[in-house]
Structure 1
Amino acid sequence: MPRVLLPLAEGFEELEAVTVIDVLRRGGIEVVVAGLQEGPVKASRGTVLHPDAPLDAVMDQDFDMVVLPGGMPGVKHLREDERVRGLLERQRSKNRCIAAICAAPSILAAYGHLEGKRATSNPKFKEQVAIGPVRYVEDAVVEDGEVITSRGPGTSMLFALALVERLAGTQRRREVEAGLVFPA
């Protein structure tokens, strides 16, 4: 079973985190939600999630994918956390997937993970993502090698379904879409 890590920081975007967690789990994918600190994490609009574990407890584990939700100031907190940077570096060194949505692709750009790649983000963060040799596009979901990016809360479902397809295949994505009554 594929394993995904979704780190949560205070101020994350509810729709992006919860949609990804829910859709991946529907796809039979193990999702580990890890808070930067122990205890509940409050989202940008006041929703509170209880992570499965603190980030420190899962730092030495391997994951097929790391997914960064957007939301402010959540993205700022993720960007400033050296553990998150280390996780992303480890994923890259093992040619494993990294995915980010909304403002979170700016973290990937800041750490050099988007160099020479196609990527997207929330339009408000275009200037922080479209730096150097990044080929910025405005598609809902952009896959380039082991990096997957998306635009924002409105593209969360498409993003999550793309992650299911990457991790579990096209047939599993179709099964999840059918269960969600996702429009064709």
Structure 2
Amino acid sequence: MAKVLVPLAQGCEELEAVTLIDLMVRAGIEVVTASLDDERVITASRGVQLIAQTTLDQVLGQEFDLVVLPGGLPGADYLNEDPRIIELLQRTVQHGGLSAAICAAPKVLVSAGLLDNREATSYPGVIDVEPAPGMQYLDLPVVDAGSVLTSKGPGTAMDFALILIERLCGAEKRLEVEQGLQRS
């Protein structure tokens, strides 16, 4: 079973966080949510309260198949300012896992050096104005650049989650989850 970490920062985008978590759980993926500090109640960008299962310090020694960052502000800024997140993203990719971010959170992937010489997307005005060295910004809902995936914003969260499920569990599992959602 795949294991995924979703760090939840104060001010994260709730629609993105909940959509990513919910769809991956539907796929049978072990999803761990972690707050950046000891305050496990997260007040998201629109005031919705989320409760993290654990803290980042408690899971730092664990290996994950995917670390995925919800966007939103100021949540993405808090993730970007946390050296533990940067190191965790880098280590995950170095060990053959995936790192992913949506909305404003791809800026953290830029800081981690994971978008150097890759294609990527984000919420407009985030990484298209301050790209990584050699990065090509694509105005697409989701960009799969191998071990690093990015997505544009809240409206793309479901497609992003389904692509992450496919990468972790295969096309059959993605289709199973997607059919249960009655998207068509």
Decide: shared fold, TM above 0.5: yes
2:169 is the counterpart of 1:168: yes
| CA–CA distance in structure 1, aligned partners of residues 89 and 97 of structure 2 | 9
Task: In structure 1, list runs of 5 or more residues that go unmatched.
Answer: none
Detail structure 1 runs of 4+ shifted over 3 Å in the superposition.
none
Residue number in structure 1 paired with 2:137: 136
1:37 deviates by 1.4
Matches within 5 A, 1:17-96: 17-38=17-38, 39-96=40-97
| CA–CA distance in structure 2, aligned partners of residues 59 and 80 of structure 1 | 16
* Per-residue CA distance 1:5-33 (angstroms, 9 max, x = gap): 00011000001000000000001101000
TM-score, structure 2 normalization: 0.96
Residue number in structure 1 paired with 2:16: 16
Paired letter, 1:63? F
Task: In structure 2, list runs of 5 or more residues that go unmatched.
Answer: none
What secondary structure sits across from 2:62 in the alignment? coil
Query: Identity, % of aligned pairs?
Result: 49
- RMSD over equivalenced CA pairs, Å: 0.9
1:96 deviates by 1.1
| CA–CA distance in structure 1, aligned partners of residues 108 and 79 of structure 2 | 8
Larger helix fraction of residues: 1
| CA–CA distance in structure 2, aligned partners of residues 111 and 67 of structure 1 | 13
1:45 deviates by 0.5
| CA–CA distance in structure 2, aligned partners of residues 167 and 30 of structure 1 | 11
2:179 is the counterpart of 1:178: yes
| CA–CA distance in structure 2, aligned partners of residues 88 and 131 of structure 1 | 16
| CA–CA distance in structure 1, aligned partners of residues 100 and 132 of structure 2 | 18
1:132 deviates by 2.1
| CA–CA distance in structure 1, aligned partners of residues 77 and 141 of structure 2 | 23
Residue number in structure 1 paired with 2:129: 127
1:142 deviates by 0.6
